[in-house]
Amino acid sequence: MKAAIVLVAAMLASVAPVPAIAQAYWAAPAADDFPCDIKAVQAPWSKADIDLSHHDRIYVSDPTSTKIVVIDPAAGNELGRIDLTKSAIAEPSFSSPKVQHLAATRDGRTLAVSALAQHSVTLVDLATNTERGRTVFQTSPTAVAFTPNGHELWVSLGDEHAIAVVDPKTAREITRVPASGGAGATILSPNGRYAFVSLTERPSILVVDVEHRRVVGHVASNGAGEGAIAVSPDGKQIWATRRESGTTTVFAAKPPFAVREVINTGPATGAVNFAQRADDSFAYVSIGGDQPAIKVYRTDSLEAVTTIPLQAAPTAVWPSGDGTRIYASLAGTNKVAGIDTLTYTTASTIPISTDAQSLIYVPGAVRSGKGLANLVPSGRDAALAVAAR
Pairing of strands 335-340, 143-146: unpaired
The verdict on whether omega for the bond into residue 29 sits within 30 degrees of 0, i.e. cis, is no
Task: Give, in order, the Cα–Cα distances in Å from 381 to each of 87, 366, 377, 378, 384.
Answer: 21, 27, 9, 8, 5
124 — pLDDT class (breaks 50, 70, 90)? very high
pTM for the structure as a whole: 0.85
CA atoms within 13 A on the CB side of 135: 27
* pLDDT one-digit tens code per residue, 352-379: 998 888 899 999 999 999 999 999 997 6
pLDDT value of position 43? 65
Identify whether the C-beta of residue 363 lies closer than 8 Å to the C-beta of residue 54: no
pLDDT value of position 94? 43
37 — pLDDT class (breaks 50, 70, 90)? very low
pLDDT value of position 105? 92
Flag whether pLDDT at 11 surpasses 70: no
What is the amino acid identity at position 301? S
Average pLDDT over residues 62-83: 90
pLDDT value of position 218? 95
Q: Residue 68's Cα: distance from chain center in Å?
A: 15
pLDDT value of position 377? 92
Count CB atoms within 10 A of the CB of residue 14.
Answer: 7
Domain ranges of the chain: 39-388
Flag whether pLDDT at 93 surpasses 60: no
Flag whether pLDDT at 48 surpasses 80: no
In DSSP notation, 300-346 reads TT--EEEEEE-SS-EEEEEE-TTSSEEEEEETTTTEEEEEETTTTEE
pLDDT value of position 328? 96
d(CA 333, CA 326): 18
What is the amino acid identity at position 263? I
Identify whether the C-beta of residue 188 lies closer than 8 Å to the C-beta of residue 223: no
Pairing of strands 5-6, 41-42: unpaired
Contacts made by residues 131-138, CB under 8 angstroms, sequence distance 24+: 131/84, 131/86, 131/87, 131/89, 131/90, 132/87, 132/89, 133/89, 133/168, 133/170, 133/171, 134/89, 134/90, 134/91, 134/171, 135/164, 135/166, 135/171, 135/172, 135/173, 136/91, 137/164
CA atoms within 13 A on the CB side of 28: 1
Identify whether the C-beta of residue 269 lies closer than 8 Å to the C-beta of residue 247: yes
Q: Sign (positive/negative) of CA torsion 7, 10, 15, 16? A: positive
Task: Give, in order, the Cα–Cα distances in Å from 121 to each of 117, 128, 142, 153, 325.
Answer: 11, 18, 10, 10, 29
pLDDT value of position 308? 98
Task: Give, in order, the Cα–Cα distances in Å from 244 to each of 202, 267, 289.
Answer: 13, 8, 11
What is the amino acid identity at position 316? A
Q: Sign (positive/negative) of CA torsion 61, 65, 70, 75? A: negative
388 SS3 class: helix
Q: 3.30.70.270, 3.40.50.450, 1.25.40.80, 2.130.10.10: which CATH number matches 39-388?
A: 2.130.10.10
pLDDT value of position 355? 86
Flag whether pLDDT at 4 surpasses 60: no
* pLDDT one-digit tens code per residue, 339-350: 999 999 999 999
Tell the burial category of 384 from Cβ atoms under 10 Å away from its Cβ (0-12, 13-18, 19+).
Answer: exposed
